[in-house]
Amino acid sequence: MVAQPERNLILLGGPGAGKGTQSQRLAVRFGIPQISTGDMLRAARREGTPLGKEADKYMAAGQLVPDSVVIGLVEERLKAADTKPGFILDGFPRTVPQADALSAVLKKLGRGPLRVIEVAVAESVLHERLGGRISCPKCGASYHVKFTPPKVADTCDTCGTKGLITRADDKPEAISQRLREYADKTAPLIDYYTKAGLLKRIDGVGDLEIVLGRVVQALDG
Ligand code: AMP
């Protein structure tokens, strides 16, 4: 059997660009884990760990959690054996120091090169998508009242919990803050990875399967 090359992927894009949804699909397609720092932080928050309590202050306000916290989480996760064939980073890196730290970690672990896909979506569309987001308070699965509603109203498809909620960071003030954080701290990574010759940009607006097709084509091309 011919060994598959490592697929070390980053999906980059604003909050609500569809990184989570696309990452989940890519993970299944390529048989590699999705690593979402947002999901990891929300899990820590639900469990009430010291890290979760610390992160909560920032997350509820739509601010980025300090670099040192998320870098530590990702470094630990990348040491796990299931990431050897590759991984999909969703929501990390979000700042230049995080991107620098990631390169250093991959080098230290002797891992192959990165590929970065920018899922491009206009800010007005991000606003609309984030505005209608509802989530399961138990398992964290997320839906959109208009675009991807749950099968049974107000009920989680994944775990059956009734009473879906608007996350604190999906409330209007936090949404504006998250978009500002993206523009100020994360968007510079587009330039960073373009200069490194690692980035490909795809149009993130359209049917989920069509967007997935664009991502796969960008990776295969
Ligand atoms: P997400 O689900 O990826 O939109 O992340 C939700 C929230 O978690 C963000 O608004 C941040 O507060 C925090 N967060 C997730 N990933 C990072 C990261 N790489 N750096 C800093 N904060 C993060």
Per-residue pLDDT of the chain (221 residues; tens, 9 = 90+): 556 778 999 999 999 999 998 999 999 999 999 999 999 999 999 899 999 999 999 999 999 999 999 999 999 999 999 999 999 999 999 999 999 999 999 999 999 899 999 999 999 999 988 889 899 988 888 899 998 899 999 999 999 999 999 988 888 999 999 999 999 999 999 999 999 999 999 999 999 999 999 999 999 87
SS3 of 131, please? Answer: helix
What backbone phi and psi angles, to 5 degrees, belong to 220? -80, -25
Inter-CA distances, 183 with 122, 125, 146, 175, 176, Å: 12, 15, 26, 12, 11
pLDDT score of 8: 97
Q: Domain 7-32+85-220 belongs to what architecture?
A: 3-Layer(aba) Sandwich (3.40)
pLDDT score of 1: 56
User: Which of 115, 167, 171, 201 does the annotation list as catalytic?
Assistant: 167
Ligand 1: distance of its center to the CA of 59 in Å? Answer: 7
User: Which of 19, 25, 42, 129 does the annotation list as catalytic?
Assistant: 19
pTM for this prediction: 0.90
CA gyration radius, the chain:
17
Edge-to-edge strands, sheet with 7-12: 34-36, 86-90, 7-12, 114-120, 199-203
Q: Confirm whether 111 is a catalytic residue.
A: no
Q: Confirm whether 133 is a catalytic residue.
A: yes
| CA atoms of 180 and 123, how far apart (whole Å) | 10
Q: Confirm whether 167 is a catalytic residue.
A: yes
Give ligand 1 pocket residues (Cβ under 6 A).
Answer: 15, 37-38, 41, 58-59, 62-65, 70, 91-92, 94, 98, 169, 178
Closest Cα to residue 120, out of 46, 215, 7?
A: 215
Contact 172/79 with Cβ under 8 angstroms? no
Ligand 1: residue whose CA is nearest its atom 6: 38
Q: Name the residue ranges covered by the structural domains of the chain.
A: 7-32+85-220
